[in-house]
Structure 1
Amino acid sequence: MRPWEVALAAGARLGEGPTWDASARRLIWVDILASRVHTFDPATGRRTVLATEQHVGAAKPRAGGGLVVNLRDGVACYDADGALSWLHREVVPGRRGNDAGVAPDGSLWAGTMRYDEAPGGGTLIRVAPDGRATPQLTGVTVSNGIGWSPDGGRMYYIDSPTRRVDVFDVGPDGEVAGRRPFVTVEEGAGFPDGLTVDAAGCVWVALWDGAALRRYAPDGRLDRVVDLPVRRPTACAFGGRGLTDLYVTSASEGVAPGGAAGALLVLPAAGEGLPQPAFAG
């Protein structure tokens, strides 16, 4: 019996960044190249779509309602009524926002990449709730998956062309240090893209061009491989009642027409996820 189901036959060009919004009991995800933020309530089937004025790499819930979004030209907030305001605007021609994550302290860690994927053209910044932005990494190429261990003491991070998931130590102030490889994905298995960390501290990684998810134990041991019906899965997140269902976004861009490419998939009862903090700004 296959472990996955098609939750939505969305046909997304570049579906990305699923996040469970616990307060609204819905999944938030984006279609980057279509400039759309989607929400999906699996209990009722209700869906919403928000058109953004720029390509949107990630969207996360805010503690006070609304969304924080990683756009082409920086990080902005949507209020509950749809009004947009910029938190951190940094216009760099040829560059856009990509994946992002909310740290346990409520700050947003937002990555960028060049459209042409030029080596070293991307960054990772930390945006505090008051909008103060501090660079964390420069010289990255495709800033992608980011997540924290259950105790908050580790941060996992992917710069996709390196084929690595790296790990950092997190200090009491939320700053990171001690970057080192956690796992390396071998040639031919695809590129690591988005990730999520489960309640057992295991790291789930979506493999772009690898048609699979991998689950790595906290010591880096490969624990599980799940084959998927899409060549380009992009990211994953636990959601639903009890945070036991694993949702997976995917891309149809660059894939032959037909099949499930671009769908939102779900792996029911795949494990137990961690509650994701909302952006505190």
Structure 2
Amino acid sequence: MRERKGRPGPVAVIGLGAMGLPMALALLRGGFVVRGYDLRADARAAFAADGGIVVDSVRTAAAGAAVLMLMVVDAAQAESVLLAEGALESMPADGIVLLTATCPPTAVQAVAGRVLATGRGFVDAPVSGGTAGATAATLTVMAAGAPDDVDSVRPLLETIGKRIFVVGSAPGQGAVVKAVNQLLCGAHIAVAAEGLALARRLGVDGQMILDVMGGSAAASWMLNDRGPRMLQEHPVVSSAVDIFVKDLAIVLQAGRDSRTALPMAALAHQLFLAASGRGIGAEDDSQVIRCLEALNGA
């Protein structure tokens, strides 16, 4: 049993991408000793430029690390890092794996089982808030795991996030909450785009729609955040279309695994998939509106 004894020891961060890099830097600012690794040389260089300790392999990163934080692409990459690349066996016997990436619940359970079988800890803690939240260290964290393990990593979570929720004691429950979050976010973006596309088709100014709806019962956080960008041709990318292609696929997998019908998620996924197929997968997710306009001949 791991006891919480204040700030944990060295932290290894695997994955220094759009989310992982600012999260690792937030830990640095918070006074943690942080070793980072990423496959991309430019990501490693960016981390080193801000004072991070860059290593040459996941094994080296994990050696001696009290916490191994994985902000990787998917569950398959997490499993590869831990098992095929040897990070798990390089960790101390009482180390904790902290998975912050968005993954299917069943996949998280499988990875957690492999980690827990070695006697090490595992906390499933996906995050929400995008690159802006990661940069500002205001992420929402949905943590699940054994209470002692969650307590041990709480100082890290409170450093990278503003809203920390312990959503369960079993790994995979954090992934469930994140899946529900992404279902709602994706559907809200899609339906906001549909509403603005209808207004434009009928000759009503989109900004007028946002002014009226933004303070009415029809308002949502996504309408007020993404709506203005839907009116721009090439807005600054806050979260890419392809993020929702991936995350809504995870939602649908959770539905398949649990035999739960998710018709709204399926439709939203098809719209984001179509946007990606049009070659705009790297553009802001608000640009899913282009698919609706194309569908209507615009």
* Greater relative contact order (CA < 8 Å, ≥ 6 in sequence): 1
Q: Give the TM-score of the pair, scaled to structure 1.
A: 0.28
Structure with bigger helix share is: 2
Q: Give the TM-score of the pair, scaled to structure 2.
A: 0.26
